[in-house]
Chains A and B, each alone.
Chain A
Amino acid sequence: MIKLPIAEPSFIRTPDANAREVFHSFSRGLCPSCKRPVDGVRVIRDGKVYLRKQCPSHGQSEALISGDVDWFLRSLTFIKAGSIPLSYSTPVDRGCPNDCGLCPDHEQHSCLPIIEITNHCNLECPICIVQNKHNYEMSVEELGKILDGLVAKEGVLETINLSGGEPTMHPQFFQLLDMAVAKKEIARVSISTNGLRCASDPEFCVELAKRGVYVSLQLDALSNPALRVLRGTGDHRAARERALDNLERAGVRTTIVSTVAKGVNDDKIGECVELLYSRDFILSLMFQPAAFTGYGGAHFAPHNPLDVMTIPDVVRAADQQSGGKLKKSDFLPLPCSHPSCFALTYLLRTEDGFVPFPRFLELERYMDILANRGTIRPDESFEGAIRDTIDDMWTSAAQVPDGAKILASLKRTIHLMYPEERALELEERLRIGEGLVKTIFVHAFMDVHTFEVDRIKKCCTHYALPDGRLMPGCAYNNLYRDRDPRYAGETGTPRIWTK
């Protein structure tokens, strides 16, 4: 019996396979003109993978879906079983993706629920993937219902995320945040923010730190021309630096979220990696290849769907721009989501820097460690993997580059996280782990060009709606958001920064 994921799958190609177009598979997508579900095929050409669709009314369209065929082929052998929510909100009726909420045909639970508490925003980012109408603020009752619904469906949750719009603009922000933090079934609460409030209000950061809240800070680059293209007017560089300083000073555990647009900031990936390596309060880094939905989809139109960033393009750029810190081989597809949606690597802190886990540990062998989480889960399987690796390296450390250093770090990790004197609470261990292991994710959202029914069925990033539905992220962004009854009214007045 075959064991998935396959660590090193081999592929046999005819000699002319690289010179001509290869049909890979069928995939149902959306017509970029009318958004109706249409037949598509995945084809391989010039080492890349394209989705080619045929619409009965609008003819043929094509989009790049993977910038590296080797990554793509390997990723499809990289899967593990999904997990079933305790209940569903919608029946299977019209068929995917028209029954979202989740329906019983969905293949993954809500690993990362996102709650959009407002659609007000003080930025007007040209790359925004949502369509903010500046007319909605979530009520306390609505959030209460959503949180209860999440607990009913998930039992307990490792993380929930409050987002928007810009969630920090919600007049009752802390009241809503405290409701989420107080929920004992929810282990961690994170907020997604553009950082403007963090930059202008150090006290706000202190309040976040007090509550143990994690911040996902939008930061596409550290230099301005690129930022302005993606984020609009204003001195974003100064704002982001102040936000970083305030968060650091307050001790807020932070994730950097960088939207990567081809030709705009894809040369700043090394800069973001450097930031992760150099500042302790930054636990993880999330790259999101730009998806062209919502406001951004309209603003960047017409973008060239054949020339966009994909997961392996980000991985390649990280390899090229990090001065040897990261290699392509350090990254793996995430097997619990659809393998085309996520990639990741973990970094172990050593005495003088970080070493990616795949350099000393076959992550494929330790599937339970790989998860869509901001940090590693320090449970028994993690401990087992580290102890196994220490045993392996005892004999082979001489052959592994930096072997002695890694071995010392692993021993220190075990010593700190699993001390012999007393058993630590998992939460305490998690805190220690955050200081020892950092994470880099790449998360690819889909737009009408790249949308695949195949992928949406295993989506684990879900928007939680007040009506109880949990909407797979890209289905919601592409097909449901513009019909959300919450935003049905007149568009409100935006309060845009610098305007």
Chain B
Amino acid sequence: MNPVCAPCVTRQPTSHLYYGTTKSLCSTCKRSVDAKIHFEDDKVWFHKYCPEHGHERRQVCSSVDWYLDALSFVAPSTPPRGELKPVKQGCPFDCGPCKSHQQKVYLPVIPITSACNLDCPICYTINKNDDPHMLSKESFARILEHLKAQHDELDIINFTGGEPTMHPELPELLRMSRAAGIRRLTVSTNGIRLRDEAYAKQLADVDARIVLSLDTFREDIDQVMLGARTVKLKLEVLDHLEKYDVTTTILPAVAAGLNDADVGPLFDLMLKRPNVCSLELHTMTFTGQGGVGFSKAEDGERSARISIPDLHELLRNHTGGRIEPKDFVPSPLAHPHCYSICYVLMLDGGGFVPFVRFLGRAKMYDLLSESIYIQPREKIETMLREAIDELWANPESCVEGEAVLATLRGLIDRMFPPGIVLSLEERQRIAERASKAVYIHSHMDEETFDVARIMKCSVGVPEEDGSNIPTCSYNILYREKDTRFADPVQLKERRALPIVR
């Protein structure tokens, strides 16, 4: 044996590629631990070590290809303004945010109540109905003041809970926000209260946008995920929302082996309903009162775990390739592994074409650099006009080029009519009836937690003292300590409940 050639014989290559190291959490004690990022079987794994609980290996993404593709997008940070918490224990234990945080909040998410009229097995947050928390108007006003001080212009806030429609003063809180100059007010709801048409109209009158959680069309699956049969009710609610032309987002939490087969039909529902302008797919995350135990096997594996590239594949298959994974781009305002976004243009003659096909990925990415959800400002006019010129010169460059060209021309004429300047709200409404969006938003739990992602988080939970906590930190670490939402005794009992499925 010649020694020079021998190492390949005696030592074995690792079965994985080592990509790098980040910081995650121990799934048992939630302390921060190193996580080596391994590529193996074309999937991405975290290989963690906790000095107390040993090694832990978790799949965090089902495709190395997508993982690296997302990281190939580069956008500048906009750091948070105002008073920042000092770094004491290190990320993510100094939230508020601290001096290490890299991104200001672009989507404030305000839980206005701890009350909820469902008790979902998949619930990824923590609530209580005994002595429920109801955010007072005064406290809300202070939150608004801080938000306004922290932003030159605040485009959007989201009301959540619990179930925000159980807050008796929700319409008033919406009016206060409107008065504060915030354009997009979204209410995340399970829809139960919106079956009351008068209430639905009341929200429509303040131009609230509804984010309706609708996970499946199958009652048996609904029963497993929500512990209730809500499909019929939600379809009724959708009729109300359509009747009052309420801009609506459908938000399913997608769980592998349960409602992943519903993603295609939900996409079709978005296409069909004129007032439904987006589909926001949340990959199932295992936090909160329901999530921690959901679909957890004895060995800790989660059968319902699904990641962004799986949803790309589902949509590719469902649309026969009319939506491809490369039609999605990350958000420039968040970590590239948190959002995957695809806008589609609704063609005048029917059908749709992803924006990326006629804009390219770089422009699509740039379009998203001011707000998590596109705003119809001048930049989009310029880009669409360039796309029109391009298609005019070379209609073959895009699938259904002629139809795209005709649709874009009509859209530009309506959004930017010669001689008239429409308000942003008017343009928004036109744009949202002519295009639709799929947002895949991947939250983290302690198993998949990546400190790089939390540092760049732009979705924050604001408090009346002016602080705000990045959502996934909040869901994993902070909400359970907040007695307004969490009843420690109840929580302990829930965690002891038998594993679901």
Q: Assess the B49–A16 pair: CB atoms within 8 A.
A: no
Q: Is B103 an interface residue (CB 8 A)?
A: yes
Interface residue A490 (Cβ < 8 Å from any Cβ of B): no
Contact B65 A2 (CB under 8 A): yes
A107 within 8 A of B: yes
- CB–CB A96/B99 < 8 A: no
> Is B75 in contact with chain A by the CB < 8 A criterion?
yes
Residues of A within 8 A of B456 (CB): 23
Task: Mark the stretch among A183-191, A254-262, A269-277, A391-399 that contacts chain B.
Answer: A183-191
Q: Does B149 contact A (CB under 8 A)?
A: no
Number of residues on chain A facing chain B (CB within 8 A): 70
Q: Are A426 and B36 in contact (CB under 8 A)?
A: no
In the bound complex, how far is the Cα of B34 from the Cα of A457, in angstroms? 11
Min C-beta distance of A81 to chain B, whole Å: 4
| B36 and A107 contact, CB distance less than 8 A | yes
Q: For residue B241, give the distance in angstroms from its CB to the closest CB of chain A.
A: 34
Whether B34 and A96, one on each chain, are in contact in the complex, defined by CB atoms closer than 8 angstroms, is yes
Question: Please, which residues of chain B bring their CB within 8 A of the CB of A155?
Answer: 6-7, 9-11
Q: Are B369 and A23 in contact (CB under 8 A)?
A: no
Contacts of B90 in A (CB 8 A): 38-39, 54, 56
Q: Does A425 contact B (CB under 8 A)?
A: yes
Interface 1/0s, chain B 178-205, versus A by CB < 8 A?
0000000000000000000000000000
Interface segment, B12-20, B218-226, B343-351?
A: B12-20
Residue in chain A with minimal CB distance to B35: A26
Nearest-neighbour CB distance to chain A for B291, whole angstroms, equals 24
Closest to B103 in A: A23
Residue B3, interface by CB 8 Å: yes
B330 to chain A, nearest CB (A): 9
Give the complex CA separation of A142 and B310 in angstroms.
Answer: 56
B61-88 interface code vs A (CB 8 A; 1 in, 0 out): 0001100100111111100000000111
Interface residue? B407 (CB, 8 A): no
The reply on B489 being an interface residue by CB < 8 A is no
Q: Give CA–CA (A41, B98) in the complex, Å.
A: 13
Q: Is the CB of A79 within 8 A of B17?
A: yes
Say whether A1 contacts B366, CB under 8 Å: no
Residues of B within 8 A of A379 (CB): 4-5
Known: A1-B42, A14-B365, A107-B14. A56 touches B36 (CB 8 A): no
Whether, in the assembled complex, B173 has its beta carbon less than 8 Å from a beta carbon of chain A, the answer is no
Shortest distance from the beta carbon of B206 to any chain A beta carbon, whole Å: 34
Query: Are A23 and B72 interface neighbours, CB within 8 A?
Result: no
Task: Check B75–A107 contact: CB distance below 8 A.
Answer: no
Contact between B16 and A81, CB atoms less than 8 A apart: yes
A32 to chain B, nearest CB (A): 15
Given A11-B74, A39-B100, residue A81 in contact with residue B13 (CB < 8 A): yes
Partner of A12, one of B17, B68, B361: B361
- Chain B contact-residue range equals 35 or more
Q: Is the CB of B65 within 8 A of A12?
A: no
Complex contact B18–A1 (CB within 8 A): no
List B414-471 residues whose CB lies under 8 Å from chain A.
Answer: 450-452, 455-456
Of A12, A43, A44, A426, chain B has the most CB atoms within 10 Å of the CB of A12
Instruction: Indicate whether A112 reaches chain B with its CB closer than 8 angstroms.
Output: no
Q: How far is the CB of B307 from chain A (nearest CB, A)?
A: 15
CB–CB A187/B3 < 8 A? yes
Q: From B16, which residue of chain A is reached at the shortest CB distance?
A: A81
Which one of B33, B51, B88 contacts A56 once the chains associate, using CB atoms below 8 Å?
A: B88
Interchain CA distance A279-B13 in the complex, whole Å: 37
What residues on A are CB-neighbors of B22 within 8 Å?
Answer: 25-26
Decide if A202 is an interface residue (CB 8 Å cutoff).
Answer: no
The residue on B at minimum CB distance from A381 is B8
Is A20 part of the contact surface with B, judged by Cβ < 8 Å? yes
CB-CB under 8 A from A4, the residues of chain B are: 17, 39
Q: Is B397 an interface residue (CB 8 A)?
A: no
Chain B residues within 8 Å of A92, by CB: 49, 55
Q: Are A16 and B76 in contact (CB under 8 A)?
A: yes
B475 to chain A, nearest CB (A): 19
Indicate whether A267 reaches chain B with its CB closer than 8 angstroms.
no
Cβ contacts under 8 Å, A454 to chain B: 20-21
**Residue A496, interface by CB 8 Å:** no
> Per-position contact with B for A105-147: 1 when CB-CB < 8 Å, else 0?
1011100000000000000000000000000000000000000
Are B72 and A10 in contact, CB atoms less than 8 angstroms apart?
A: yes
> With a CB–CB cut-off of 8 A, which chain A residues contact B7?
83, 154-158
Q: Is B18's CB under 8 angstroms from A458's CB?
A: yes
In the assembled complex, the CB of B148 is this many whole angstroms from the nearest CB of chain A, namely 24
For the complex, what is the distance from the CA of A430 to the CA of B10, rounded to whole Å?
Answer: 20
Q: Is A15 an interface residue (CB 8 A)?
A: yes
A23 and B102 contact, Cβ closer than 8 Å, known pairs A14-B365, A81-B17, A82-B14: yes
| Residues in B neighbouring A105, C-beta threshold 8 A | 36, 47, 49
Q: Which A residues lie within 8 Å of B18 (CB)?
A: 79, 81-82, 107-108, 457-458
Contact B11 A84 (CB under 8 A): yes
A95 close to B (CB within 8 Å) = yes
Q: How far is the CA of A449 from the CA of B453 in the complex (A)?
A: 24
Specify which chain B residues have a CB less than 8 angstroms from the CB of A427 in the assembled complex: 2, 4
Within the complex, the shortest CB–CB distance from A63 to chain B, in Å, comes to 16
Which of B19, B55, B65, B87 contacts A1, CB < 8 Å? B65
By the criterion CB–CB under 8 Å, are B17 and A14 in contact? no
Q: Choose among A14, A77, A158 the residue that contacts B369 (Cβ–Cβ < 8 A).
A: A14
A328 interface residue per 8 A CB criterion: no
By a CB distance below 8 angstroms, the chain B residues around A44 are 74
A184: chain B residues within 8 A (beta carbon): 3
Find out whether the CB atom of A95 lies under 8 angstroms from the CB atom of B11.
Answer: no
Whether B10 lies near A11 (C-beta < 8 A) is no
Report the bound CA distance from A81 to B455 in whole Å: 29
Tell me the smallest distance from the CB of B42 to a CB of chain A, in Å.
Answer: 5
A6 CB to nearest B CB, Å = 8
**What residues of chain B lie closer than 8 Å to A15, measured between beta carbons?**
366
A190 to chain B, nearest CB (A): 14
Task: Closest B residue to A104 by CB, please name it.
Answer: B55
Neighbour of A83 across the interface among B14, B20, B99, B452, CB < 8 A: B14
Q: Cβ of A95 and Cβ of B33 under 8 Å apart?
A: yes
Contact digits for B97-111, partner A, Cβ 8 Å, 1 yes 0 no: 001101100000000
Which residues in window 1-54 of A have CB below 8 A to B? 1-2, 4, 6, 9-17, 19-23, 25-28, 38-39, 41, 43-44, 54
B73–A156 touching, CB < 8 Å: no
Min Cβ gap A280→B in Å is 22
Q: Is A453 an interface residue (CB 8 A)?
A: yes
Q: Could you say which residues of chain A place their CB within 8 Å of the CB of B89?
A: 56
Determine whether B91 belongs to the interface, using a CB cutoff of 8 Å to chain A: yes
Known: A39-B91, A154-B7, A156-B3. A19 touches B76 (CB 8 A): yes
Query: Cβ of B376 < 8 Å from any Cβ of A?
Result: no
B332 part of interface (Cβ distance < 8 Å): yes
CA distance A263 to B193 in the complex (A): 71
Residues A109 and B11 in contact in the complex (CB < 8 Å), given A2-B42, A25-B22, A187-B3: yes
B76, B87, B91 — most chain A CB neighbours (10 Å):
B76
Task: Name the residue on A nearest B335 (C-beta).
Answer: A23
Q: Is A486 an interface residue (CB 8 A)?
A: no
Considering only residues 138-174 of chain A, those with a C-beta below 8 Å from chain B are 154-158
Residues of chain A contacted by B14 (CB below 8 angstroms): 81-84, 107
5 A-B pairs with least C-beta separation: A155-B10, A20-B76, A26-B452, A23-B102, A54-B87
22 pairs of residues in contact across A and B, judged by CB atoms under 8 Å: A6-B68, A12-B74, A12-B365, A13-B74, A16-B76, A22-B75, A39-B87, A39-B100, A54-B90, A56-B90, A79-B19, A81-B17, A84-B13, A95-B49, A154-B7, A155-B9, A157-B7, A158-B7, A379-B4, A427-B2, A427-B4, A454-B21
Residues of A in contact with B (beta carbons under 8 Å apart)? 1-2, 4, 6, 9-17, 19-23, 25-28, 38-39, 41, 43-44, 54-56, 60, 73, 76-77, 79-86, 92-96, 105, 107-109, 154-158, 184-187, 377, 379, 425-427, 430, 453-454, 457-458
Question: Contacts A81-B17, A84-B13, A158-B7 given; 12 further ones with Cβ under 8 A?
Answer: A2-B42, A2-B65, A9-B68, A19-B76, A56-B87, A73-B72, A73-B74, A83-B12, A84-B12, A93-B51, A155-B7, A157-B3
